[in-house]
Amino acid sequence: MEFYREIMNRLKLSILLFFVISFSCVLTSNAQKNDFSGQVIGWSTFNFSEPFLTQGGLRYIPDYKYTKKLKNNLVLKTDLSINAYGNALLYGLDSIETDYNIKPYRLQFGLSGHQFDLRLGLQKINFGSASLLRPLMWFDKIDPRDPLQLTDGVYSLLGRYYFLNNANIWLWSLFGNEKTKGWETFQTNLKIPELGGRIQYPVLTGELAATYHHREGVFDDTFADTLSNKNGFSENRYALDGKFDLEIGLWFETSLIHQNLDYTNQRYQRLVNIGADYTFALGNGLNVTTEYFAYQKTDNVFGKGKGINFGAMSLNYPINIINNIQAIVYYDFTNNDFYRFVNFSWTYDNWVIYVMGFWNPDNFQIYQNVGEANMFGGYGTQFMLVFNH
């Protein structure tokens, strides 16, 4: 496995060098556009449950975008950005844990035309209409409570073709992604690329879409020691989703994941989301989003399964052009628990201030895959200061 990690690291370095060489070849052209921007983010989080937790951190994400117009209406695009961060977590008053890193955030090279788009490198791939509890969170880990919607990308090749009737088709191949993505529990075999695709087709006042993805998974060393078959497993994902505008916005997402595991009789995972949103003519406009989410494991596609059910509601109200307030409430129907989150924001030119509060069960059942879930168990507050340049 170390050999293949080295191969993937060399491939990633080759992609980066390719970007640099591309820049050197085209920087003399007049039909080009360069854009450098970035975000400086500082935050402090206080969790008042036992034990008392305090976290402080600083993050900087510089982003360079390059665009060049070519012949035949072709456009060359490049997006390079870095995620540099450091934070410290204090347990009570006697233990401290630090974490820091500098890593690529986006390393993306693209070529687009009138009806197609082709992208290669470290990029964000996401789709679907759900926003609070997403069955189609396959390749990202976007947390709806995060006002900045930050997420790591995936190394991949993505192609999209757009038909004249607004239908479109996606094809992708993922490679060299060591960490788990989306809902994944086990990592992917680095020896074998992941493959998938998606078709979106306009229907009435909206669209329907079908999606498929295949990968070969591997077990971590600790888990593999308990199995008779240590070679990993195959995983296939199937999804159907749609969104329609009928006075109110309506959508659904369904996902079926099959893993040929030999240690369990729950080889299927079923995920379903039904949602709606509407903006009421109250004051400056109150936007309300509601979703119902169900997750089950079963050994039969249509059989009874075991899992968890959630309801969610998001309220978003712009007080004025500077201030905004958002509240999100989740209800765990299985365990009869409420999750509460509120976010006040102030925007002043390039500065944005966020003051957030949360009140959740100690045993956190949602967003365990996005990281730092334990930090938001119980109740507490978070302060965030963002500078955009």
Question: How does pLDDT run across 29-63, given as a tens digit for each residue?
Answer: 456 788 999 999 999 999 998 888 999 999 999 99
Give the pLDDT band of residue 302 (cuts 50, 70, 90): confident
Residue 105 pLDDT: 96
Q: Which residue has the tokens 């893993």?
A: 259
62 prior amide bond cis, ω within 30? no
Pairing label, strands 32-47, 379-388: antiparallel
Query: Which two three-digit tokens encode residue 242?
Result: 């749609």
Q: Can you tell me the distance from the alpha carbon of 106 to that of 60, in angstroms, rounded to the nearest whole number?
A: 13
CA distance 359 to 338: 8
Range(s) of the domain holding residue 301? 2-388
Rounded to whole angstroms, the Cα distance separating 237 from 184 reads 11
How confident is the model at residue 299, as a pLDDT? 87
Confidence band (pLDDT; 50, 70, 90) for 28?
Answer: very low
The per-residue pLDDT for 267 is 87
Position of tokens 């630090």? 98
Q: How far apart are CA 318 and CA 347, in angstroms?
A: 11
Would you say 131 and 289 are in contact if contact means Cβ atoms under 8 Å apart? yes
Q: What does the pLDDT read at residue 5?
A: 57
pLDDT for the residue numbered 369: 64
| Per-residue model confidence (pLDDT) at position 178 | 86
Q: What is the pLDDT of residue 338?
A: 95
Q: DSSP code of 59?
A: E
What's the rounded mean pLDDT across residues 168-186?
Answer: 93
Q: CA 353: distance to chain centroid?
A: 23
Strands annotated E in 92-193: 95-112, 116-123, 154-162, 168-174
Is the pLDDT confidence value at 249 over 80?
Answer: yes
Residue 311 is which amino acid?
G
Q: Which amino acid is at 220?
A: D
pLDDT above 70 covers what percent of the chain? 87
**Residues 140-163, mean pLDDT to the nearest whole number:** 95
User: Distance (Å, rounded) from C-alpha 210 to C-alpha 240?
Assistant: 5
Give the percent of the chain with pLDDT over 90: 70
Of the two residues 20 and 378, the one the predictor is more confident about is: 378
List Cα–Cα distances, 382 to 135, 145, 254, 326, in angstroms: 27, 11, 33, 14
At residue 377 the predicted structure's pLDDT band, cuts being 50, 70 and 90, is: confident
What average pLDDT does the segment 147-159 reach?
Answer: 95
Distance, in Å, from the CA atom of 217 to the CA atom of 233, rounded to the nearest integer, reads 5
| Mean pLDDT value across residues 123-139 | 95
What mean pLDDT do residues 220-248 have?
A: 80
Query: Does position 183 have pLDDT exceeding 50, yes or no?
Result: yes
Q: Is the pLDDT of residue 247 over 50?
A: yes
> Total structural domains in the chain?
1
Looking at the predicted structure, is the pLDDT value of residue 320 above 60?
yes
Give me the phi and psi of 19, to 5 degrees please. -60, -45
What is the mean pLDDT of the segment spanning 314-327? 97
Write down how long the chain is: 389
Better pLDDT: 22 or 43: 43
What average pLDDT does the structure give for the chain? 88
Supply the pLDDT for residue 114.
Answer: 92
Token output for 8: 């993937």
C-alpha to C-alpha distance for 5 and 70, rounded to whole angstroms: 36
| Angstrom distance (rounded) from CA 364 to CA 374 | 7
Give me the CATH number covering residue 195.
2.40.160.10
The DSSP 8-state label assigned to residue 52 in this structure reads: P
Q: What is the mean pLDDT of residues 358-384?
A: 80
* pLDDT score, position 362: 82
Residue type, 309: N
DSSP string for 351-366: EEEEEEEEE--SS--S
Query: What integer is the mean pLDDT of 358-374?
Result: 73
Q: Which of 316, 313, 388, 386 is nearest to 354 (CA)?
A: 386
State the amino acid at position 382 in one-letter form.
Q
pLDDT(372) > 80: no
Asked if residue 370 has pLDDT above 80, the reply is no
Q: Please give the distance of CA 180 from its chain centroid, rounded to a whole number.
A: 12
Mean pLDDT of 229-255: 92
| pLDDT score recorded for residue 223 | 59
Say how far apart CA 211 and CA 243 lie, in whole Å. 15
pLDDT of residue 10: 53
- CA dist 389 and 61 (Å) reads 10
365 pLDDT above the threshold of 90: no
Please determine, for residue 215, whether its predicted confidence score (pLDDT) is greater than 80: yes
pLDDT higher than threshold 70 for residue 311 = yes
Q: What is the pLDDT of residue 60?
A: 98
Find the range with the poorest average confidence among 2-16, 39-53, 145-159, 306-320.
2-16
- Residue reference for tokens 């709806």: 144
Q: What angle do CA 130, 78, 40 make, to 5 degrees?
A: 70
